[in-house]
Amino acid sequence: MLLMGLAILTLCGCSNENGKVEKSTSDVVIETIMTRRSIRQYKDEPVSREQMETILKCGINAPSGSNRQEWEIRVVDNPEFINGCTEAWKKTLDADRLTKMVDENFKNMFRNAPTVVFIACPKGTELNCGFLGQNMMLSAWSMGIGTCCLGGPVQFFRTEAGAEYLKKLEFSEGYEILYAIAFGYPDETPDAKPRDWGKVKFLD
Q: Is residue 121 in a domain?
A: yes
The tens digit of pLDDT for each residue in 61-95 reads 999 999 999 999 999 999 999 999 999 999 999 98
Q: List residues bridging with 116 in a β-sheet.
A: 76, 182
Domain with 167 in it:
51-184
Q: Has residue 36 got a pLDDT over 70?
A: yes
User: Which tops the pLDDT comparison, 200 or 100?
Assistant: 200
Burial bucket for residue 51 (CB in 10 Å: 0-12, 13-18, 19+): middle
Q: Is residue 9 in a domain?
A: no
Res 19: pLDDT? 60
Calculate mean pLDDT across residues 136-164: 96
Please state, rounded to an integer, the average pLDDT across all residues of the chain.
Answer: 90
The structure's pTM equals: 0.86
> In 10 A of CB 48, how many CB atoms?
12
User: Across the beta sheet with 115-121, what order do the strands follow?
Assistant: 72-76, 115-121, 176-184, 146-150
Residue 26 binned pLDDT confidence (cut-offs 50, 70, 90): confident
Residue 13 CB partners (closer than 8 Å, separation 6+): 21, 22, 23, 24, 27
Q: Is residue 29 in a domain?
A: no
Res 136: pLDDT? 98
Res 69: pLDDT? 97
Q: Is residue 154 in a domain?
A: yes
Res 3: pLDDT? 37
CATH number of the domain within which 87 lies: 3.40.109.10
Q: Is residue 156 in a domain?
A: yes
Q: Is residue 83 in a domain?
A: yes
Q: Is residue 150 in a domain?
A: yes
Res 15: pLDDT? 46
The tens digit of pLDDT for each residue in 50-60 reads 999 999 999 99
User: Which tops the pLDDT comparison, 1 or 115?
Assistant: 115
Instruction: Look at the chain and report how many structural domains it folds into.
Output: 1
Q: Has residue 31 got a pLDDT over 90?
A: yes
Res 22: pLDDT? 75
Q: Is residue 37 in a domain?
A: no
Residue 41 CB partners (closer than 8 Å, separation 6+): 105, 111, 112, 186, 187, 188
Strands (E), the chain: 14-15, 21-22, 72-76, 115-121, 146-150, 176-184
> In 10 A of CB 110, how many CB atoms?
25
Q: Has residue 12 got a pLDDT over 60?
A: no
